[in-house]
Amino acid sequence: MQPNPVPDPMIDGLALAVPAPGHNLPPAAFTSRDVFEVEQRAIFAKSWIHVCDLRDVPAPGSFMTAQIGRSPIIILRDRAGELRGFLNACRHRGAQLLDGSGTCDKQIKCPYHAWSYGLDGKLLGVPYRDEFDCNFDELRLVPVRVGVVGPMIFACIDPTAPAFETWVGGLAAYGTALEAMDFAWEKTYELEANWKIFVENANDGYHVQFVHDVLTDALVPDTDVTTLEPHSAYTFANINPAYLPPDKDPADAKIRFGHIFPNLIPVISPGDFTYIRVDPIAHDRLRLFVRSYDTPEAADFRELRKAAFEHTTKQDIAVVLRTMRGLYAEGLPAGVLASELEI
């Protein structure tokens, strides 16, 4: 006798199963508060998430705070210059320890009852220590896994999640070249849309020729090839030779659009690297954090590339907002997806 199949989880009245091939999630998966809350625990808390870059924590004592799902975390450089990650929560009563970014001298001091920790997470100081009946040696800051590829720092709060190298896959091969690039510019956007709509749009090659003028012109039609890895997807396309310096072989000049699950969109081209991180703020709100790096040879075209990015992103934002508005339509069935163009 066959065992009963495991029922699909019910969230906000939705049976959320993996959609049938060629079908999207139901519209309510993009508009439900409850689905959003479950995603924070079931997706973000179990994934490697980009949190900041090496340039954000340049020297011993530098720290940067971030959030993975609902969990506040700290990335810092200890006194030996090693990168470390911790939950940003005191082992006494749980108060958040650090805010924003900056430099902590030799210790992290809790603003509540003044417990202090070394930059290695060890508990150092406890006022009125005699009043506690506990093993202070066990009360270190809770460590968080940290991984680096190119200029980017990722963190993971799930000790059972796959190894970082497995998660980032083929991107690691570009790490040295990307780390050698110079910081070019950064930008943030906030918009009233569910984070998955922006990520899906970034994986959607179908809309490019209908929505983007500059981007369409910059690519050679029908040269795109998509590869899938366990936690990433990449599409390579040839760059229009008119956009290349004369000494560049057009056959080697590819742009590599990527998606590292769940929310990072790295785009690599021969002279520059730009990523978009899609931060989930609420079921109907996201923030884009964008940073760009380039090589000295490509720096002359920095402003041009930035203008092209802003132009293209404005076009993407318009269709993402339009999709969010449409998905509120009561009674709208789940959408359908093209087999190759909308991986």
- Choice from 10, 15, 17, 95 touching ligand FES (CB under 6 A): 95
Would you say 214 or 282 has its CB closer to Fe ion? 214
Q: Which is nearer to ligand FES, 95 or 336 (CB)?
A: 95
Per CB under 6 A, which of residues 173..192 are in contact with ligand FES?
Answer: none
Q: Is 134 in the site for ligand FES (CB under 6 A)?
A: no
Helix (H, G, I), strand (E, B) or coil at 30: helix
Q: In the complex, what is the shortest distance from the CB of residue 56 to ligand FES, in angstroms, rounded to a whole number?
A: 25
How would you classify residue 319: left for phi > 0, otherwise alpha for psi between -120 and 50, otherwise beta?
A: alpha
Position 223, amino acid: T
Nearest to 197 by CA among 15, 19, 25, 40: 25
154 binds, among ligand FES, Fe ion, none (CB under 5 to 8 A by kind): none
Q: By C-beta, is 112 or 132 nearer to ligand FES?
A: 112
**90 near ligand FES (CB under 6 A):** yes
* 36 touches 283 (CB < 8 A): yes
**Tokens 């931060």 found at:** 279
Judged by CB under 5 A, the chain residues 309 through 338 that form the site for Fe ion are: 316
Q: Is 113 in the site for ligand FES (CB under 6 A)?
A: yes
273 binds, among Fe ion, ligand FES, none (CB under 5 to 8 A by kind): none
For residue 92, state whether it binds ligand FES (rule: CB under 6 A): yes
Report which residue type is found at 6: V
With CB under 6 A as the contact rule, the residue among 33, 41, 79, 93 that binds ligand FES is: 93
122 contacts ligand FES (rule: CB under 6 A) = no
**Cβ-proximal residues to 213 (8 Å cutoff; 6+ apart), any chain:** none
H helix and E strand count, the chain = 7, 19
Q: Minimum distance between the CB of residue 309 and Fe ion, rounded to whole angstroms?
A: 11
Task: State which residue, 74 or 219, has the beta carbon closest to ligand FES.
Answer: 74
Does 110 help bind ligand FES (rule: CB under 6 A)?
yes
8 Å CB contact between 201 and 320: yes
Task: Kindly report the backbone phi and psi dihedral angles of residue 138, in degrees, each rounded to the nearest multiple of 5, phi listed first.
Answer: -85, -10
Give the three-class secondary structure for 307.
helix
Near ligand FES by CB under 6 A, which window of 89-97, 160-168, 276-284, 298-306? 89-97
What's the order of all strands across the beta sheet hosting 116-118?
Answer: 107-109, 116-118, 123-125
Q: Pick one of ligand FES, Fe ion, none as the site partner of residue 285 (Cβ within 5 to 8 A by kind).
A: none
- The phi and psi torsions of 185 (rounded to 5 degrees) equal -165, 165
Interface contacts to Fe ion, rule CB under 5 A: 316
Interface contacts to ligand FES, rule CB under 6 A: 90, 92-93, 95, 110, 112-113, 115
